[in-house]
Amino acid sequence: MEKIATRLTDWLIAKEAVSIDEKELYEYGIFHLLLNIINTISILLLALFFREVISTVFYIICFCTLRRYAGGYHVKTVFTCYLLTLTAALGMLVLLRQFDFIAPVQFALWFISGIIILLFAPIQNANKILDDIEKIVYQKRAIITWLIQTIGMVLLYRLEFSNCFEAILISHMYVAISMLVEKIRIIRGNI
């Protein structure tokens, strides 16, 4: 994948679309774009198998946007990240297929996840150190994102799109768990 990113960057430089001074930046960006494409395609293939494409799209959008601002745990290797991402998506799909969450459980999971997100966002890690201004900005964006998604969840619930509602709920749970894992690592001094 790194070779592909390097080749694409070299091609952009040869076409004079990118300056050679920006080579490292473009290699990094293209590499991560390719990773995101592969992750998304892999998750959508799982979703096709489970016949849950629409709810999976809700999951991906909500998880990625909330996680971007709330922060959380990051694994050390790209391959481990890929496996963990697929495992999380598979877990979401299995939960949607195998469990019917009753309303009090749904509310409890939403409430606990929300409290964690609202109290601790943003969680920084070694990959993303935030200055004081960025912490305030990310905290506000995490809260606004969570609120917008919560409103969306309520609408989906009222419209009886239970799998889409629960996919967003699970994305919130995963973000909260990721935040707690990183918070524990920070407290233990493992950052």
pLDDT digits (tens, 9 = 90+) for 57-83: 999 999 999 999 999 998 888 899 899
- 191 pLDDT higher than 80: no
pLDDT confidence of residue 6: 81
pLDDT confidence of residue 46: 96
pLDDT confidence of residue 41: 95
Grade residue 107 by pLDDT with cuts at 50, 70 and 90.
Answer: very high
Provide the whole-model pTM: 0.87
Grade residue 126 by pLDDT with cuts at 50, 70 and 90.
Answer: confident
- 27 pLDDT higher than 70: yes
pLDDT confidence of residue 2: 82
**Segment 5-11 mean pLDDT:** 80
**Segment 127-134 mean pLDDT:** 87
Find, among 181, 187, 185, the residue nearest to 70 by Cα: 181
Say which range, 13-17, 23-27, 56-60, 120-124, has the weakest mean pLDDT.
13-17
Q: In the chain, what are the domain boundaries?
A: 1-49, 51-187
Query: How much is the mean pLDDT over the chain?
Result: 91
Q: Is the Cα torsion angle 32, 71, 81, 76 positive or negative in sign?
A: positive
- 190 pLDDT higher than 70: no
